[in-house]
Amino acid sequence: MSKIANGRVLFSLLMALSLGVVYAELGAGNNNTLLGNNTSINESVNKTLNESINKTLNESINETEEAINETEEADEKD
């Protein structure tokens, strides 16, 4: 291989390595940002789920109490 070809190969390898380092650093920075944002997203999701579960449980309890009352009223009429 000629000196020019060796130079091009070496230059290409160094550029690839440099780009790899840059992308790795950008990726690490993005991961930190995402992890920070995930906390608020998790809190929001947890709050929404808790509200939904509580609402569903309350509705279920109310329906059960109504059914019990209706059954008791029907038993009293008999």
**CA dist., res. 4 & res. 20, Å (int):** 24
**CA dist., res. 36 & res. 28, Å (int):** 13
pLDDT computed for residue 46 by the predictor:
83
Instruction: Count structural domains, the chain.
Output: 1
Neighbours of 22 (CB within 10 A): 10
pLDDT, averaged per 10 consecutive residues of the chain (78 residues), comes to 82 85 67 59 82 87 87 78
User: What range defines the domain where residue 11 resides?
Assistant: 3-76
Q: What is the pTM of this model?
A: 0.42
pLDDT computed for residue 38 by the predictor:
64
